[in-house]
Structure 1
Amino acid sequence: MKFSIERGALLKAVSQAQSVVERRNTIPILANVLIEAEGDTVSFRATDLDIEVVDKAPAQVEKAGATTVSAVTLHEIVRKLPDGALVTLSDDGVAGRLTVEAGRSNFNLATLPREDFPVMASSEYQSNFSAPAPVLRRLFDKSKFAISTEETRYYLNGVYLHVSDSDGGKVLRAVATDGHRLARIDADLPSGAEDMPGVIVPRKTVGELRKLLDDDEMKIAVSVSETKIRFATPNITLTSKVIDGTFPDYSRVIPVGNTRKMEVDAGDFAAAVDRVATVSSERSRAVKMALDQDKLVLSVNAPDSGAAEEELAVAYNDERLEIGFNAKYLLEIASQVDRENAVFLFNSAGDPTLMREGNDASAVYVVMPMRV
């Protein structure tokens, strides 16, 4: 195998591949990237047995072939090469070595046979549709903060992507929760997604997928089965197993009777919460919200480190209410708001609070209160 490739194209392809590779591996081949050169393209394939990413890049292929080499080592080498360099990769197919040459730099890397590299079995996908990158980006970006990190409740360790009913008809919906807060984001249902099975997309996959969604003009081809989900652009294909579990009935925790309404500038609110939380003890990070006529007082009282208070002008026209929240949860939810105003709907100090962006009901957040 022998091919030449521009350093920028090589770095982009290798960095996508090496981020999938687990740093600690009991199976040596899983630390490697499979390089396959044919025609005028080279593909770089990496897997951790749960996720597989394939990135194709244009190259001048002198001799077709394939080999595997350490993904992290190759990435580090390419990252340190000068911009605009032409990189030549070649192996003789016998000695188990890959030569990387660029200008006066020359590297010799150990390889493992391509036959040992595990390729994820392709499955029959029940549903195939395409969606604009910004739509998928919004679904996952706005919900991923609420993914649980608790391994015992493994079915909460991802984003539940499914088709659901809404007031305006069927929607594509992403939901994540850790039991303390919940995010529910809706998007118009893409054509062809009507029969999509509901799947839980793992946290790591959501992180890797984000790298495919930066181009606003891009359409992403999505394929879904009961056990796998695949996202594809013209150059990159990301395939992942989905979490084998049942996502809980989240609709039961979304309050419907919350009538006390507070409207506040989202940016001002987040900044004020951040300021008063500075003095709170890291463990609880509790912030008290005292609501009165068009006024909100945020306060923190931490006996070991001090106290803080800040007043904000809000739109609130209901009876006085005092309620406490984890500052981190409030900040994460407030930071999701793209519009100017955040609307909070309360019931009582002990009930879940609902938050949305202005009058937009396509993004709904729920946060549980805490005693302060």
Structure 2
Amino acid sequence: MKLSIERGTLLKAVSQAQSVVERRNTIPILANVLVEAEGNEVRFRATDLDIEVVDNAPAQVHQAGSTTVSAVTFHEIVRKLPDGALVELTADSAAGLLHVAAGRAKFKLATLPKEDFPVMASAEYSANFTAAAGVLRRLFDKSKFAISTEETRYYLNGVYMHVADAGAGDLVLRCVATDGHRLARIDAPLPAGAEGMPGVIVPRKTVGELRKLLDDDEADIAVSVSETKVRFATPGLTLTSKVIDGTFPDYTRVIPTANTRKLEVDAADFARAVDRVATVSSERSRAVKMSLDEDRLILSVTAPDAGAAEEELAVAYADEPLEIGFNAKYLLEIAGQVDRENATFLFNASGDPTLMREGDDDSAVYVVMPMRV
């Protein structure tokens, strides 16, 4: 194998691929990236056995071939090469080396046989559809904060992507995440071809890697889904992942429908005020008390070891007075999802789950459990 490639193009491709590689590996080949040169492009493939990333980049291929090389070391070398450099890669399979040359810099890297590299088996996908990157980014970005980190409830360690009925027979593409303390449910119009899609739980790590495909709002992402795998692809990059083998709980039962006490507040002002009053506590889980009266909200925190804080906000509220407490971190994360000017909270009683949405928009709904204060 012998090829020439521009340093910036190479760095982008290797960065995408090496990010899925686990830093500590008991299987040496999993620390490597598979480099395959053919035609007028070079392909970089990396996997941790659960996720596989394949990145294609244009290159001058002088001799087709393939090899595997340490992903982290190769990425670090390319990252430190000067901008605009032309990088030459030459594989010496007899010596088990990959020669990397750019200007006067030359490196020899140990390789492992390409035959040892595990390639994820291609699945028969039961649903294939195309969605705009901006739509997918909104679905996953607004829901991922609620993913559980509790390994014993592994079926909550991801985002549940499925087709749902939004009422009146309208089908939507929906993403849901919950950790039992808060829940996010985000809807988007159902893309053509997604109607028969099986519901799948996309793992937390995959959601993080997927974010790198979704930077360009105008890009179209080809999505393929089966019972065991999900694949997201652009013309140059393909991300394939196993899905979590488990059943996502019936989340509809925890979304309150009878909450009638309505609070409207400027989302940015609210987030800043919560952040300020929570400063007096060193505990991340410190409860923030919300005291509601007519068109007035008082946020307060009492920390016996540090002091107390209180801030008043002008709001729209016309129901009975209410006092309710929430984990400050959860309030901040939910308020941080609001793209519109106003956040709308719907309360029932101080011990019941609270519903939050963006203005009158029902396509993004959040539920947060209260705390005793």
Per the TM superposition, whether the score is higher than 0.5 is yes
- Equivalents in 1 of 2:224, 2:328: separation in Å? 38
Corresponding residue for residue 294 of structure 2:
293
Corresponding residue for residue 219 of structure 1:
220
Structure 1 residue 340: Cα displacement: 0.3
Structure 1 residue 214: Cα displacement: 0.4
Indicate the percent of aligned positions where both proteins have the same amino acid. Answer: 83
SS at match of 1:53: strand
Structure 1 residue 92: Cα displacement: 1.9
- Once the two structures are superposed, the pairs formed by residues 20-39 of structure 1 within 5 Å of their partners are 20-39=20-39
Q: TM-score, normalised by structure 2?
A: 0.99
For 1:47, give the aligned amino acid: T
- Equivalents in 2 of 1:283, 1:7: separation in Å? 43
Corresponding residue for residue 61 of structure 2:
61
- Once the two structures are superposed, the pairs formed by residues 68-107 of structure 1 within 5 Å of their partners are 68-107=68-107
SS at match of 1:231: strand
Corresponding residue for residue 256 of structure 1:
257
- Equivalents in 2 of 1:307, 1:23: separation in Å? 43
SS at match of 2:19: helix
Corresponding residue for residue 244 of structure 2:
243
Corresponding residue for residue 12 of structure 1:
12
For 2:116, give the aligned amino acid: D
Maintained 8 Å contact 2:184/2:367: yes
Q: TM-score, normalised by structure 1?
A: 0.99
SS at match of 1:276: helix
Structure 1 residue 8: Cα displacement: 0.7
Corresponding residue for residue 345 of structure 2:
344
List gaps (5 residues or longer) in structure 2.
Answer: none
Maintained 8 Å contact 2:7/2:83: yes
For 1:352, give the aligned amino acid: P
1:260-299 CA-partner distances (Å, limit 9, x unpaired): 0000000000000000001123153210000000000000
Corresponding residue pairs, total:
372
- Equivalents in 2 of 1:281, 1:80: separation in Å? 40
Corresponding residue for residue 364 of structure 1:
365
- Equivalents in 1 of 2:104, 2:218: separation in Å? 39
SS at match of 1:20: coil
- Equivalents in 2 of 1:291, 1:203: separation in Å? 36
Corresponding residue for residue 129 of structure 1:
129
- Once the two structures are superposed, the pairs formed by residues 108-127 of structure 1 within 5 Å of their partners are 108-127=108-127
Maintained 8 Å contact 1:280/1:286: no
Moved over 4 A (4+): none
Stretch deviating more after TM superposition (83-92 or 54-63): 83-92
Maintained 8 Å contact 1:34/1:68: yes
1:197-219 CA-partner distances (Å, limit 9, x unpaired): 00000000000000000011110
Corresponding residue for residue 318 of structure 2:
317
Change in Cα spacing, 1:166 to 1:236, as seen in structure 2 (3 Å) is: same
Maintained 8 Å contact 1:322/1:349: yes
Maintained 8 Å contact 2:31/2:71: yes
For 2:236, give the aligned amino acid: N
- Equivalents in 2 of 1:137, 1:288: separation in Å? 33
